[in-house]
Chains A and B, each alone.
Chain A
């Protein structure tokens, strides 16, 4: 498994996609945080925590996972991968794990960058900032969610196989379906894989929104459940699929 994991991480490092997505995720997150820190006034500690959660690593690693796995079918490298590692379940496991690690790394880079830059801008403006322990609280939540999103993206990519269909489908789920469900039936929507459950993990002190959010521990378990389900279904399909 170590060799497989090493190979999958090498695959990630040897194309421009990962570096490009890291750049875009860092850039976009920084832009929003800098704008928020520069323009907002009379911020409370809760506002600052929310500001420092403008972390797009989850979305980007979700898409990267889809691209990475569905790309194996698009470029027909899946046969080469399976010939090198005929145990398809282990191969999928290594890919899931590698994208989870990549997600955590991406979230670390983005979170540290926005925390440093956001805090600097707020300090210069004399606004309130949050302490290291609170930043660490934000960080671990972002890391865990990004890691699970990376794993989920691989599963979706392996199941759908068509990159465009998978990405459009996930974006529709994230930006239309789940928000609508949360608005209309939050008791169901809060279990959603891309918005509902992740929000339960990420949001600290939800206040008035507590009804529409799962507790962090439960939300984490729900996310793990989604990844487990995705892995099981994708593994089943991948194992039986003829590669002609």
Chain B
């Protein structure tokens, strides 16, 4: 049983299909990046998971329960939403006191989470005077209040400056290392790539890839040999015979996980003439764009 499991989720808003048959799960002790361009359906999926929007069909569960079936949800699930609101006339401390009262958390947790996110000094200021970064930190503090096993964060780096983004990365890593399941959505791969273990890539409301970062985006798969030959078909057959994976790309072949030297040796052995040989290092960004390309 996964901490979060989404099965065949659909959500329509009128004639707009925001999420189309999405299925994926996340695991404890890992940070899962939920990636996709703006409008891909990430926020809708997260809101369906949290019971804020009603799915058209399919299920979005925490273990075996919907969010609204989880007793004292803030003790199990911490949430930071992209547009989470705060009453401008309430202080951060009072905002957390209200949440602590609702979730029946001990009052001392308020000071603990304020310290965790570095807001102790500003705790008694009204939220209307907070910067975007401070609001994000307050959102994180709210999510951590119940010391939950699952953290769901929707675009948490939006509006953060580089030190803030670095802080957020460290926090996510720390939470996962402590055994929590962390799902973090972002439309910017670069902001989360350094801290995620797994990724779920969606575009146009559909799943485009799910697995470890390396599996889905290939960033850690090493070099990709790129080779051109007079007889591409013969070269492809020869490479496959020697146990290489081959992908045809326009007028050349890509051989993931192989060096040019390995490809050259096969060509020499089979006496096939090459017209070009090199490497194509496949960047994460390029792989991400390839997966989500038609939705960009």
Shortest B41–chain A CB gap in Å is 12
* Contact in complex: A14, B94 (CB < 8 Å): yes
User: Is B190 located at the chain interface by the 8 A CB criterion?
Assistant: no
| A76/B98 in contact, CB under 8 A | no
Are A14 and B90 in contact (CB-based, < 8 A)? yes
Q: A4 CA to B103 CA in the complex, in Å?
A: 8
Whole-angstrom distance between the alpha carbons of A244 and B81 in the complex?
A: 11
Contact of B102 with A by CB under 8 A: yes
Decide if B53 touches A243 in the complex (CB within 8 Å): yes
Near A by CB (< 8 A), chain B positions 35-77 give 43-44, 47, 50-54, 67-68, 70, 73-74
- Could you tell me if A3 and B53 are in contact, using CB atoms closer than 8 angstroms? no
Contact: B54 with A240, CB < 8 Å? yes
Give the bracket for the number of chain B residues in contact with chain A: 20 to 34
The number of chain A residues with a CB under 8 A from chain B is 28
Q: What's the Cα separation between A240 and B52 when bound, in Å?
A: 10
- How far, in angstroms, from A219 to B91 measured CA to CA in the complex? 41
Residue A85, interface by CB 8 Å: yes
- Which listed residue (A10, A15, A77, A87) contacts B101, Cβ 8 A? A10
Contact with A along B129-171 (1 / 0, CB 8 A): 0000000000000100000000000000000000000000000
Residues of B within 8 A of A80 (CB): 84-86, 99, 142
The dominant DSSP class at the A interface is: helix
CA–CA, A10 and B101, complex, Å? 8
Among A3, A16, A240, contact of B104 (Cβ-Cβ < 8 Å): A3
Task: State whether A14 touches B101 (Cβ < 8 A).
Answer: no
Contact of B51 among A10, A14, A86 (CB under 8 A): A86
Cβ distance B76 to chain A, nearest Cβ, rounded Å = 12
Instruction: Report the bound CA distance from A85 to B52 in whole Å.
Output: 11
Chain B hits for A76, CB < 8 A? 83-85
Does B118 sit at the interface, judged by CB under 8 A?
no
List the A side residues contacting B90 at CB < 8 Å. Answer: 11, 14-15
Chain A: residues with CB nearer than 8 A to chain B?
3-4, 6-7, 10-11, 14-17, 71, 75-87, 240, 242-244
